[in-house]
Amino acid sequence: MTQPGFHDLISDVQLRKAIDALGYEAPTPVQLAAIPAASQGKNLIVSSKTGSGKTAAFLLPAIQAMLARASVNPESTRMLILTPTRELARQIVKNAEQLLKFTSFKVGMVCGGEELKYQKAMLRKNPEVIVGTPGRLAEHVSHKSTEFSGLEFLVLDEADRMLDMGLSEDVLKIANTCRNERQTLLFSATMEQKGLRHLIKQVILGEAEEIYIDDKPNAIVQQMLIADDFKHKEKLLLALLQKADFQKAIIFTNTKVRATQLDNFLRYNKFRVGALHGDITQDQRKVTLDHFRQGRTSILVATDVAARGLDIPGVELVVNIDMAYSGDEYLHRVGRTGRADAEGRAVSMVDAKEWNLTKSIERYLGVTFEVIAMPGLKGKYQGPDKIKSSGKSVGTKKKTAVKDKKAEAKPKVKVRERDKKNIGNRRVPKALTEAPAVDGFAPPKKKISKQLDDGGE
Ligand code: ADP
Ligand code: MG
């Protein structure tokens, strides 16, 4: 039997034309599963790997349904898509506009950092689709400049992040003003955290179908460099960037201060670099990302504002100069490479304070990072003493292109019980110390505390 194509899923002629114009030949597994389910009017909770085409998986069925029927209330927005960052909102606006190219539907964007007045004028024009970040949208809800009483689709992209601390309050405030009979669609590469359930119940009214795509893992080589301290990491980074073969690279730091520091450091060392974090103005953020997309810069230094959803062709290397806070956040950062079946490489720099965290992330993801070294830059720290004295070399070479030990080559859809351990949660220090020891998972005894300074956009 041949695989179903877009013609089996999408009957609208204008929409099919737009899909052709984008060059999409066949639906991806998540599109194959989510489009029919959403077209049947169901609420969905969808989990599928990074870069697997989730955006079209929620846009296509919603657009098709809206094109096929009259609006409930002509004064109201018909589809609302919430995202954690402005950059992701802009990317989704672009994708939606491409798919709506042959229709009369309009898309509006509502994010922080832009004038309220201008956004209110745009909202009065009442575009069918609005994409936005929760903080600014909640402000508009307070000013009564939104109208969601006839809303047909509410989408939370990066849904686990949207229901995370700091964002969920605004998300729920907005959701409460949306039409009760709407369809709610939640999408992310990571939907396993405990504690999400009760929040999901507040945004999804009624029944929901869970779709979990157990697809073949992304081809990302995952490596680590052991470091003494940040100065050492900077030296390792220079050597890595000089040696590595990449079109574009993203370097993740855990704080804005560190991102600025590294931006200056790399600029001083003659790299074409830009920085993206929460303290940079909206205009500058846009310019920085545009330059990176266009290839005018080849390196982006960023905090976790760039970890989620960004789809930038040519990103072949991701460096965690600070290790990610959690297994899930690691997965999103690293997922900026290896998108849509491309190959990628991820290198994490790990010092003594990050050792236990790194081992927990390895266990959570079911991978062993290949330990690599930069010639002439070996540090004093080489991992915990017990590993050194056991005679086992921490430098054991292991090819780790595989991300998920549970993943199989054949895509399949299943309804999943949430029985995963806590390590995937964003707030790692707590999750690490409180997670039960299951499945060979032993939480480290020492608490690792890190400072979080970048909430939301
Ligand atoms: P995700 O949200 O799952 O991380 P995206 O929606 O950002 O993934 O899609 C990743 C890339 O794949 C984008 O560049 C998108 O244009 C492309 N893409 C999506 N669907 C298809 C398809 N059916 N065929 C080819 N490319 C696709
Ligand atoms: Mg996405």
Distance of alpha carbon 348 from alpha carbon 320, whole angstroms: 4
State the chain's mean pLDDT as an integer: 87
Q: How far is the CA of 95 from the centre of ligand 1 (A)?
A: 10
Q: Is residue 384 part of a domain?
A: no
pLDDT at res. 330: 97
- 247 and 335 together in one domain: yes
Which atom number of ligand 1 is nearest to the Cα of residue 340?
12
If asked whether residues 116 and 12 sit together in one domain, one would say yes
Same structural domain for residues 145 and 66?
A: yes
Burial of 361 (0-12, 13-18, 19+ CB in 10 A): buried
- The closest residue, in CA terms, to atom 26 on ligand 1 is 24
Q: For residue 340, how far is its CA from the centre of ligand 1 (angstroms)?
A: 6
Ligand 1 atom nearest residue 30's Cα: 3
Token code pair at residue 421: 């351990």
C-alpha 218 to ligand 2 mean position (Å): 15
- What value does the mean pLDDT take over residues 140-157? 98
Say how far apart CA 244 and CA 242 lie, in whole Å.
Answer: 6
- pLDDT score of 386: 52
Mean pLDDT within 88-100: 98
Q: Is 51 in the pocket of ligand 1 (CB under 6 A)?
A: yes
User: Does 292 lie in the same domain as 418?
Assistant: no
| Segment among 102-106, 129-133, 395-399, 409-413 with least mean pLDDT | 395-399
**Residue 76: CB within 6 Å of ligand 1?**
no
Stretch 232-249: mean pLDDT: 97
Instruction: Find out whether the beta carbon of 21 lies less than 6 Å from any atom of ligand 1.
Output: no
Percent of the chain with pLDDT over 70: 84
- Same domain, yes or no: 404 and 443: yes
Q: Which atom of ligand 1 is nearest to the CA of 335?
A: 4
Query: CA–CA distance from 97 to each of 129, 130, 290, 372 (Å)?
Result: 10, 11, 18, 43
Q: Is the CB of 311 under 6 A from ligand 1?
A: yes
What pLDDT shows up at residue 2?
72
Tokens (6 digits) for 7: 């013609």
Least confident of 136-145, 259-268, 421-430, 439-448: 439-448
Task: Please give the pLDDT value at position 68.
Answer: 97
Structure tokens at 246: 């990449």
Q: Which of 106-110, 362-366, 393-397, 431-435 has the lowest mean pLDDT?
A: 431-435
Question: In this model, does residue 152 exceed pLDDT 60?
Answer: yes
SS3 291: helix
Ligand 1 centre to CA of 129 (Å) is 20
Q: Work out the average pLDDT over 75-80.
A: 98
From CA 74, how far away is CA 271, in angstroms rounded?
A: 52
Is 346 part of a structural domain of the chain? yes
47 CB under 6 A from ligand 1? Answer: no
Confidence at residue 165, expressed as pLDDT on a 0 to 100 scale: 86
Task: Among 251-260, 338-347, 422-431, name the most confident range.
Answer: 251-260
Say yes or no: CB of residue 340 within 6 Å of ligand 1. Answer: yes
Mean pLDDT of 406-418: 41
- pLDDT of 452 > 70? The answer is no
pLDDT over 60 at 443, yes or no: no
What residues have CB less than 8 Å from 244, skipping those under 6 apart?
317, 345
Residue 188 has pLDDT above 80, yes or no: yes
Tens digit of pLDDT for each residue in 246-283? 999 999 999 999 999 999 999 999 999 999 999 999 99
CATH number at residue 317: 3.40.50.300
| Neighbouring C-beta atoms of residue 317, cutoff 10 Å | 23
Alpha carbon of 27 to ligand 1 centroid (Å): 9
Q: Are residues 100 and 228 in the same domain?
A: no
- Give pLDDT, residue 137: 98
Which of 352, 372, 392 finishes a domain? Answer: 372
Ligand 1 pocket member 52 (CB < 6 A): yes
Which residues neighbour 173 within 8 Å (Cβ) at sequence distance 6 or greater? 138, 141
Residue with tokens 């949207």: 162
Domain that holds residue 438: 400-453
Does residue 55 line the site of ligand 1, with CB under 6 A? Answer: yes
Which residues, 6+ apart, have CB-to-CB distance to 139 below 8 Å?
116
27 CB within 6 A, ligand 1? yes
Domain presence at residue 392:
no
Please check whether residues 321 and 197 belong to one and the same domain.
no
| Same domain flag for 164 and 269 | no
Q: Is residue 372 predicted with pLDDT exceeding 80?
A: yes
Residue 422 and residue 354 in one domain = no
Both 171 and 300 in a single domain?
Answer: no
For ligand 2, a single-atom ion, which residues have Cβ within 5 Å?
54, 309
Q: Tell me, using a 6 A CB cutoff, whether residue 337 lines ligand 1.
A: no
**Is residue 154 included in any domain, yes or no?**
yes
Question: Is residue 383 in a domain?
Answer: no
**Residues 29 and 169 grouped into a single domain:** yes
Q: Using 50, 70 and 90 to split pLDDT, how confident is the model at 340?
A: confident
Answer with the one of 212, 239, 255 that is the final residue of a domain.
Answer: 212
Nearest CA to ligand 1 atom 2: 54
Statement to judge: residues 311 and 414 lie in one domain: no
Q: Is 28 in the pocket of ligand 1 (CB under 6 A)?
A: yes
Q: pLDDT band for position 194 (50/70/90)?
A: confident
1 is a domain residue: no
Nearest CA to ligand 1 atom 15: 53
pLDDT(44) > 80: yes
Last residue in a domain, options 160, 180, 212: 212
Cα 169 to Cα 146, 172, 203, 433, distances in angstroms: 17, 5, 11, 26
pLDDT at 414 over 80: no
Q: How many domains does the chain have?
A: 3
Q: Among 149, 185, 24, which residue's Cα sits nearest to residue 75?
A: 149
Strands of the 44-47 sheet, one edge to the other: 107-110, 129-132, 79-82, 153-157, 183-188, 44-47, 209-213, 413-414
Q: Is the pLDDT of residue 240 over 60?
A: yes
* Ligand 1 contacts CB of residue 222 (under 6 A): no
Q: What is the pLDDT of residue 341?
A: 86
In a domain, 395, yes or no: no
Does any domain span residue 293? yes
| Backbone CA torsion sign across 358, 362, 363, 364 | positive
Residue 38 has pLDDT above 60, yes or no: yes
